[in-house]
Amino acid sequence: MSLAAATTMALAAGVISAPSAYTADNPVEVVVNGDDVRGDNVNGMTYKGLGLLSCNSTSNLLMDYKAEHPNRYWQLIRVLFGGKNPLINHVKIEMGSDTNTSTGSDPATMRTPDELADASRTPGFQLAADAKTVNSNLKVSILRWEMPEWVQNEWDKGTGTDDMYKWYKETILDAYEKYGYMVDYIDPDKNETRDPDEAFIKWYKNAMVTDTDFSNPRYDIPAEKQEKTEKAYHHIKIIASDENNTLNIGPSLLSDKELFGIVDAVGYHYTTDDRREGAADSDTYLPYTKLATGENKYNEDKEVWYSEGTASFGYTDYRVNNTEGPSGASTGIGGVQSTLDLANRIVKSYANSKRTHYIFQPAIGSFYEGAQYSHKELVSARDPWSGYLHYDAALYVMQQFTQFAKTGWENDTNTAGIWRTVPEASYSGAAGTENVDGSNGAPSYMTLADPRKKDFSTIVVNDSDQSKTYRIKAENMRLGDPTMEIWETRGADAGQAYDANFKHLVDEIRPGGDGYYTYTVKPRSIVTLTTLDKSRDQATKQRLPKSWDRTVLDTDATGKKHNTRDNVLYADDFGYEEEGKVQVGTGNGARKTSQPYLTSRGNQPRYMVDQTGAWEVGKDASGNNVLYQYMDQSMKDTHSWNRNTPNTTVGDFRWENYRATVDVSFPDPAGGLAALGVRQQKGMAISDAAYNVRIRPNGTWTFYEYGTAIKTGTVTASDTYRLAIEAKGATITASIDGKAVSTYQDPTPETEGRVKLGTDFYKTAFDNLKVEKIDGYTPYADTQIDNMDSSVTYDGAWNRKASFGDAMDWYRSTSTSTAAGASFTVPFTGTGIDVIGGNDGSAVLDVYIDGKLIARDAKTAATDKRLATYTLRGLPDGAHTAKFVLTSGKIVLDAFNAISGDVDGTVDTTPLQSRLGGIGSPAQADYTPDSWALFESAYSAAKAAVAGQKGLDITGVEQITNRLGKAYDRLVRTDATAQ
């Protein structure tokens, strides 16, 4: 019996269930019946495809990519939004309030009721404008999570509706004037509410459609454009209510005719399922299905969105090396939280709740790693200085949906030809409601069809370890050539390149005598079976761009040009005379306009990712550009999710030994505090910089290790102060106005990380930020190698985990072992290597470099995530292979940092020379071969170092001296053995 026949009655109730006779070994039969292609359903069944959410600082660095590497930025725009079959059709913007609502903060477009709205501060509005240049049909929507404090204060009194409306309206009109597009959808309610504010939704819609005030000088709309603007504004649609797991707005629409008439689309987050309560004809039983199908008391269909969901977690090219499959095998591109999980999520959310639009939070990760919810995106864009972009294989999997159908929104005359979803030919038996597990082998497929019934595509997801056969039959369709193409994405076979099987044409088939197309879907794969002829379409065959190199941030004194030869790592005087003009999409995508650097980005500073606060470049009393943090007591962050004092982050996570300086001043007479931090790896507060110094206007200062005060004092009060922190190895020195105020020797140092600036809730000024190298010390790690990278090899028993990984682990993956004798081998280039991971310090290692034992029974440190549990320095600068053997304890591996040999200044090798002199010249014949091998390795390394080894730094001298001493102490005399 076909699936369609088995589910006719279930469909009437709005849900499809598998045939009772189904077993895992039986072929899955799917009937695509032209009579089920609902050409008159223009809202609920039209397949809108995919969208992205820009919010919470996730897009902050994109504007830097546009300024520094415009070719790669605009290529990204084309890849995501361009072509006849766009991957992304919608940019959703969560309005910022300068507060932290997960990974960071987005700027408020209006910080006071009198300030004119500035949409250009928010990267989401500009991203949408740029996307419009390649897809004029792109939809734009907005909503809020928190609100600026001037709105919040009135809202808390119960009198804030007009203030909320003002904020929304003036922002919308500013974006319309700057970029030429009118927002398509508004959710007036709070993001992820559990109790939709239906009264306000009604109020807002009425206020919007009855609003005739478009001549207010605040809006800056020319008289000749006011009528057009008003008309466009009145066409904005309402979406509600962006709930997280709760499903309350659906029943409300069905029970409230007025609300039903007001709301155009409904959406909810992080679950694939509909609500199932009460009798089949009740408003609480499958309300979203009833809204989408139009099978409701109003006989009208509504759009239903998966209005916020995750992308795949980590990098697919790393997570394929996991051991989470049966008997420790890899799950390939599948497994929980993988790209196949994401595909199953899209299929199941349609099959179970008829959602025809999935919005990624985020699709683009353009913020520094280490903030909350890192590593869950389709594209990673975190190094604008290098232009590095990582296009994940998840994009190919998503293209299996979008490139084999015409996606988007149907027009008013129902002639755009947007493909319809076919519920009778769609089903998912995968387990789970958010993280979807397809390892049970149940069918999972979704069918999209041309409303003219001339073509269809069925997308099949098989995230199990068994092959699965599908039999698909077309009935009452008007197909031309009945040939069906099979396009597949799956992991590589043995000996193949990593991407050998990504979105490629694998077969062309025709129906058998019984009318069925038959195809066996391979394990851990997604296939699209389509009657479209795509075999010669170059856009379908197009491969994703390469990632480029992820070079370290090391500039000249302007902060603009890459320069490894001077002593500057980075500098910013916030003037940006070195920056040229930037192209911005305007005219609703009709053209690009060149704008001055700061104008193009709403005066946002370069390379900074805000965690909390209003960080913006402005003029000081002398007319010079400085960086201000504007959030003061009147704007104080009282309603954020992650409550911290204002702070922002800049720089490269690989920076190691450096000196950071910045000038600070306090223009707010009410008070203030300024902070400078170094070596930040994770977290979203100023106290997440490993070492930070904070000063108040009266000269009182405190030096901290993370959030623990190490020393406090007072300097002479001044209008300005120059703060500095020098971090070299384990020695950290804080200075104010050029004088050291605290020197701290950290027994377990954080060795690498970025720079942070921070304030209290007062307007505070920063200028002349500079990050400099320190003579005699390596400034940074050149590269990072993930524990799941294919170049890293493992022997012995290891658990290599990718599913449900922690966001504070690089790419959410770890490799763990407790088996004595287990080993891992890492090829790298440099003068040393850091072994990074959250560890308890129990692991003991034998360390080999290029086949030679250089350390026996080396202890590891108890460390938090992203910190080095073991560091190795002092190797000759060049290519090496490091092998680590676990002799006892437990080791958790996250990543490996390879240390640069770029060392400025002279390096004092006196301590090592003294140690060599004390040892003298031992004779090999006097010692056992095993103990001599270790000593000889250390002795040779020491002699090479004092002879002038390239890339040697002070830390390397210290470690070579230490290894030599330990090896000498472990020498065993042959006569002692004989006794």
**DSSP letters for 882-946:** EEEEEEES-EEE-EEEEEP----S----HHHHHHHHHH----GGGB-HHHHHHHHHHHHHHHHHH
Q: In the prediction, which pLDDT does 548 show?
A: 85
Q: In the prediction, which pLDDT does 976 show?
A: 66
CA dist 395 → 124, 313, 462, 607, 715 (Å): 21, 13, 17, 26, 55
Q: How confident is the model at residue 639 (pLDDT cuts 50, 70, 90)?
A: confident
Q: In the prediction, which pLDDT does 977 show?
A: 57
Across 664-676, average pLDDT = 97
Q: How confident is the model at residue 7 (pLDDT cuts 50, 70, 90)?
A: very low
Long-range contacts of 151-155 (CB under 8 A, 24+ apart): 152/638, 152/639
Find the helix packing angle between 954-969 and 910-919, rounded to 10°: 20
Has residue 2 got a pLDDT over 50?
no
Has residue 9 got a pLDDT over 70?
no
Q: What pLDDT digit, counting tens, does each position of 543-586 carry?
A: 999 988 999 999 999 999 999 999 999 999 999 999 999 999 99
Q: What pLDDT digit, counting tens, does each position of 831-888 carry?
A: 999 999 999 999 999 999 999 999 999 999 999 999 999 999 999 999 999 999 999 9
Fill in the DSSP letter of residue 110. Answer: -
Q: What pLDDT digit, counting tens, does each position of 248-290 carry?
A: 999 999 999 999 999 999 999 999 999 999 999 999 999 999 9
Our separate counts of H helices and E strands in the chain read 21, 52
C-beta separation of 630 from 764 below 8 A: no
Has residue 164 got a pLDDT over 60?
yes
Q: Which percentage of the chain shows pLDDT scores above 70?
A: 97
Q: What pLDDT digit, counting tens, does each position of 584-628 carry?
A: 999 999 999 999 999 999 999 999 999 999 999 999 999 999 999
∠340-343-349 over CA atoms, to 5°? 135
C-beta separation of 50 from 379 below 8 A: no
Q: Which of 852, 837, 828, 971 is nearest to 900 (CA)?
A: 828
Q: Which of 36, 39, 19, 41 is nearest to 473 (CA)?
A: 36
Non-local (6+) Cβ contacts of 306 within 8 A are 267, 268, 269, 272, 345, 346, 349, 355, 357, 358, 359
Cα 207 to Cα 703: distance, rounded to the nearest angstrom: 52
Q: Which of 545, 542, 569 is nearest to 557 (CA)?
A: 569
Q: What pLDDT digit, counting tens, does each position of 320-352 carry?
A: 999 999 999 999 999 999 999 999 999 999 999
Has residue 10 got a pLDDT over 70?
no
Q: How confident is the model at residue 23 (pLDDT cuts 50, 70, 90)?
A: low
Has residue 3 got a pLDDT over 60?
no
Structure tokens of 835? Answer: 């072994």
Q: How confident is the model at residue 6 (pLDDT cuts 50, 70, 90)?
A: very low
Strands (E), 613-715: 615-619, 625-629, 647-650, 658-665, 674-680, 689-695, 700-705, 708-714
Cα 793 to Cα 890: distance, rounded to the nearest angstrom: 18
What are the φ/ψ torsions at residue 152 (nearest 5 degrees)? -60, -40
Cα 449 to Cα 430: distance, rounded to the nearest angstrom: 23
Non-local (6+) Cβ contacts of 963 within 8 A are 854, 855, 874, 938, 941
C-beta separation of 678 from 658 below 8 A: yes
Which residue carries 């795509």 as its tokens? 534
Cα 338 to Cα 310: distance, rounded to the nearest angstrom: 10
Instruction: Tell me the whole-structure pTM to 2 decimals.
Output: 0.96
Question: In this structure, is the dihedral angle defined by the CA atoms of residues 135, 139, 145 and 150, taken in order, positive or negative?
Answer: positive
Write the secondary structure of 31-88 as one string of H (helix), E (strand) and C (coil): EEEHHHCCCCCCCCCECCEEEEEECCCCCCCHHHHHHHCHHHHHHHHHHHHCCCCCCE
What are the φ/ψ torsions at residue 107 (nearest 5 degrees)? -65, 145
Strand order in the sheet with 700-705: 609-612, 647-650, 754-759, 674-680, 689-695, 700-705, 708-714
Q: In the prediction, which pLDDT does 8 show?
A: 34
∠750-753-754 over CA atoms, to 5°? 140
Q: Which residues on adjacent β-strands are paired with residue 459?
A: 446, 528
C-beta separation of 191 from 239 below 8 A: no
Q: In the prediction, which pLDDT does 26 show?
A: 87
Q: In the prediction, which pLDDT does 637 show?
A: 72
Fill in the DSSP letter of residue 956. Answer: H
Q: What pLDDT digit, counting tens, does each position of 423-458 carry?
A: 999 999 999 999 999 999 999 999 999 999 999 999
Has residue 365 got a pLDDT over 70?
yes
Q: Is 353 helix (H, G, I), strand (E, B) or coil?
A: helix
Across 181-189, average pLDDT = 98
Cα 94 to Cα 89: distance, rounded to the nearest angstrom: 17
Cα 544 to Cα 523: distance, rounded to the nearest angstrom: 24
CA dist 407 → 31, 48, 529, 590, 973 (Å): 22, 5, 17, 21, 78
Across 168-194, average pLDDT = 97
**DSSP letters for 156-208:** HHT--HHHHHHHHHHHHHHHHHHHS---SEEEEEETT-SS--HHHHHHHHHHH
Structure tokens of 439? Answer: 């390892």
- Compute how many other C-beta atoms are within 10 angstroms of the C-beta atom of residue 557: 16
Cα 540 to Cα 83: distance, rounded to the nearest angstrom: 10
Q: In the prediction, which pLDDT does 12 show?
A: 37
Cα 815 to Cα 323: distance, rounded to the nearest angstrom: 9
Q: Which of 144, 126, 124, 145 is nearest to 52 (CA)?
A: 124
Q: How confident is the model at residue 18 (pLDDT cuts 50, 70, 90)?
A: very low
C-beta separation of 235 from 213 below 8 A: no
Structure tokens of 311? Answer: 């992308």
Q: In the prediction, which pLDDT does 978 show?
A: 52
Q: Which residues on adjacent β-strands are paired with residue 526?
A: 461, 489
Cα 263 to Cα 276: distance, rounded to the nearest angstrom: 22
Which residue carries 């019934």 as its tokens? 453
Has residue 19 got a pLDDT over 70?
no
Across 630-653, average pLDDT = 92
Half-sphere exposure of 85 (CA within 13 A, CB side): 18
Q: What pLDDT digit, counting tens, does each position of 947-956 carry?
A: 999 999 999 9
> Would you mind telling me the total number of residues written for the chain in this entry?
979
Q: What pLDDT digit, counting tens, does each position of 879-915 carry?
A: 999 999 999 999 999 999 999 999 999 999 999 999 9
Mean pLDDT of the residues in the chain: 95
Cα 671 to Cα 686: distance, rounded to the nearest angstrom: 18
Cα 39 to Cα 421: distance, rounded to the nearest angstrom: 10
Half-sphere exposure of 660 (CA within 13 A, CB side): 30
